[in-house]
Amino acid sequence: MRLLGLDPGLQVTGWGIVEARDNRLSHLANGAVRTDPSLSLADRLVQLYDGLTAVIADWSPAEAAVEETFVNKNPNSTLKLGQARGISLLAAARSGLGVFEYPPNLVKKTVVGTGHATKDQIQMMVGRLLPGCALTGADAADALACAICHAHHRATQNTIAAAIVMGGRR
């Protein structure tokens, strides 16, 4: 199954595509959608939406994993991040993808083993988990980490669901 990971941001939204087959992950692509800071907020959100829908059209993922917003000290920054995150959710949902959300600490814990991992640690582990992956930047690495997190948690949920179904049979 092809999975899209998204690390929302108004200036830069990272994206990453992985293929999950059985318990193996393969890197397919990664990058970032950048907005023009000289434009109005509304126009930047349109740029973000158009960029994400183009990525989705190009790679045809089945599901998307989006990192949840953490609260900044600056409420204005948090609000803008939330708007970018909303566009990420909208682009994926309007494209017909299953959309899943993960808190940043869970993404870090799943990929690195600690919920307070640094960006360098995330990039290093993404490189190890997806051999041959040439990262285009920290935002793309975070997006791939989100996709990896979803792949692992999705597999666990599928195993539990199968066990429940089998437990109900006689």
Enclosing H/E stretch for 67: strand 63-67
Alpha-carbon span 158 to 152, nearest angstrom? 10
Would residue 67 show up in a list of annotated catalytic residues for this protein? yes
Pick the catalytic residue from 19, 43, 67, 120: 67
Would residue 58 show up in a list of annotated catalytic residues for this protein? no
Q: Tokens for 92, please give them.
A: 């994926």
How big is the chain by its Cα radius of gyration, in Å?
16
Would residue 101 show up in a list of annotated catalytic residues for this protein? no
Name the nearest CA neighbour of 11 among 78, 119, 102, 84: 84
Point out the residues that are catalytic: 7, 67, 139
